[in-house]
């Protein structure tokens, strides 16, 4: 590995094993899918390990300098339902027909994207974001196509199925190469993604791959070597029948991070927003997507009676909030949220996956010159297939002064406790007054019995 890193572009002298690779929109890209690493298998002593191809990717920018480099091996273990309502395990490996589409170098404002496609409609991609000092893998998107009858000969559900895994790599120092020889894997939605012999560097500086390595935890000296998991009695072209999969409770999705957004009109701040956003997309089963404020930019317009906040998360999720002033001619005015629209884009080619809007809201209302706050979770139903969950909301779309929120009007959910406390105190006082009154009546009656007429 050290020899490879000291001569990062040496592989250009080797003949390409992959034909028909076209240039990326952001530069050139070379992919190689090699034969199974038999020596590696023998050293591991692994029996029944399925064939898998090593992929080597070199993405170049417009000046023909390397901007993203990766070399790795991976395979997928997939549990799927058959036409007879039982479950089978299938193994999906990279094949020699690997292609690419949409890999992006990335920069300070745009995430880098490494994407490959293979087989009968299968694809895999990972995106990287960076700070001033580090880069990291944010999420992996894997799509497998059950129309591939070689791998899924009797799948009940037909068509592409997408699985997203978040937080795939810890931060790595810029100009360092991330290396992980041992096996690592991610499990999500009946899919286990297995990786080994991984070498990757995003945001390559000056076209030169770094010489310093950042090792994964499994490669540390105290860690025992691991072996990629296998499924017994499964071959590349066949599957093994299992009993129906037990139902397990899905892992709860964490609440989204809270982001701070603002708009300016000239040199003055005209809109302030603090909110955590989570999309609930209804497919065959609900998919929760947290909006990452670190990769989300804010845009929009400010006006006297209308304001719009547009949030763009990695050029893949677009969310727009439109606020209006109610009774603009009245002496006492209030603002409220009137319209929300959401557009989900394909991260690979920018095409629209789905789009929805609702212009009939009348929520988040507060007096003009004030702000609106709701710490507890709220739900905005865009349509029957898409909802937005908000957390720690604090919004002021009009009359912002000194770049600060004005006095907040709280939502009813936040004020529940404030209502319950005085009600409980009032009930206790009322009960005490009733007790005193009853005691007084009883005392009066006893005092009268002591004076009888003669």
Question: What's the pLDDT tens digit per position in 278-329?
Answer: 999 886 667 888 999 988 889 889 999 999 999 988 767 889 999 999 876 7
What whole-number distance in Å separates Cα of residue 94 and Cα of residue 55? 8
pLDDT at 388: 95
pLDDT at 15: 29
Pick the closest to residue 134 from 210, 80, 77 (CA basis): 210
What's the mean pLDDT when you consider all of the chain?
77
What whole-number distance in Å separates Cα of residue 168 and Cα of residue 195? 11
What whole-number distance in Å separates Cα of residue 225 and Cα of residue 326? 65
Q: What is the pTM of this model?
A: 0.45
* 24: exposed, middle or buried (Cβ count in 10 Å: 0-12, 13-18, 19+): buried
Q: Which residues pair with 75 in a beta bridge?
A: 93, 194
User: Which ranges of the chain have pLDDT less than 70?
Assistant: 1-53, 167, 218, 221-253, 283-285, 315, 328, 346-352, 415-422, 445-454
What whole-number distance in Å separates Cα of residue 53 and Cα of residue 367? 62
pLDDT at 217: 72
Pick the closest to residue 262 from 300, 303, 305, 315 (CA basis): 300
Model confidence pLDDT, tens digit, residues 57-90 = 889 888 999 999 999 888 898 999 999 988 888 9
pLDDT at 351: 60
pLDDT at 27: 40
Q: Are strands 122-130 and 134-145 parallel, antiparallel or unpaired?
A: antiparallel
Q: Which residues pair with 320 in a beta bridge?
A: 310, 341
DSSP secondary structure letter of residue 219: G
What whole-number distance in Å separates Cα of residue 409 and Cα of residue 399? 15
What whole-number distance in Å separates Cα of residue 55 and Cα of residue 241? 31
- For residues 70 and 78, the answer to whether their CB atoms sit within 8 Å is no
């Amino acid at each position: 590995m050290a020899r490879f890193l000291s001569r990062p572009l040496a592989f250009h002298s080797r003949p390409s094993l992959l034909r028909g690779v076209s240039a990326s929109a952001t530069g050139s890209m070379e992919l190689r899918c090699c034969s199974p690493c038999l020596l590696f298998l023998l050293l591991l002593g692994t029996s029944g390990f399925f064939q898998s191809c090593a992929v080597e990717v070199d993405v170049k920018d417009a000046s023909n300098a390397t901007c993203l480099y990766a070399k790795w091996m991976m395979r997928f273990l997939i549990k799927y339902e058959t036409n007879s309502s039982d479950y089978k395990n299938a193994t999906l490996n990279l094949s020699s027909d690997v292609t690419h589409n949409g890999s992006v170098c990335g920069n300070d404002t745009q995430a880098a994207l490494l994407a490959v496609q293979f087989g009968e409609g299968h694809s895999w991609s990972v995106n990287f974001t960076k700070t001033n000092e580090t880069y990291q893998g944010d999420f992996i998107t894997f799509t497998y196509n059950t129309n591939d009858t070689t791998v899924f000969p009797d799948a009940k559900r037909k068509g592409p199925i997408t699985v997203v895994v978040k937080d795939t790599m810890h931060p790595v120092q810029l100009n360092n190469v991330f290396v992980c020889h041992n096996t690592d894997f991610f499990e999500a939605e009946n899919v286990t993604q297995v990786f080994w012999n991984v070498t990757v560097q995003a945001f390559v500086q000056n076209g030169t791959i770094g010489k310093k390595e950042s090792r994964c935890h499994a490669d540390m000296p105290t860690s025992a070597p691991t072996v990629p998991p296998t499924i017994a009695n499964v071959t590349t072209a066949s599957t093994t029948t299992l009993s129906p999969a037990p139902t397990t409770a899905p892992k709860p999705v964490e609440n989204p991070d809270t982001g701070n957004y603002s708009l300016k009109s000239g040199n003055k701040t005209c809109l302030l927003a603090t909110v955590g956003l989570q999309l609930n997309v209804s497919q065959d089963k609900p998919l929760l997507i947290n909006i990452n404020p670190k990769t989300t930019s804010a845009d929009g317009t400010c006006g006297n009676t209308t304001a719009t906040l547009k949030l763009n998360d990695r050029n893949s999720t677009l969310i727009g909030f439109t606020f209006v002033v109610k009774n603009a001619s009245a002496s006492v005015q209030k603002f409220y949220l009137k319209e929300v629209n959401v557009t989900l884009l394909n991260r690979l080619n920018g095409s629209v996956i789905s789009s929805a809007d609702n212009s009939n809201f009348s929520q988040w209302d507060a007096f003009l010159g004030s702000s609106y706050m709701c710490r507890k979770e709220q739900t905005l139903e865009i349509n029957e297939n898409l909802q937005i969950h908000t957390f720690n909301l604090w919004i002021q779309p009009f009359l912002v002064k000194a770049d600060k929120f004005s006095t907040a009007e709280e939502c009813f959910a936040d004020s529940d406790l404030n209502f319950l406390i005085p009600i409980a105190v009032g009930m206790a006082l009322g009960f005490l007054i009733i007790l005193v009154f009853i005691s007084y009546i009883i005392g009066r009656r006893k005092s009268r019995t002591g004076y009888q007429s003669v």
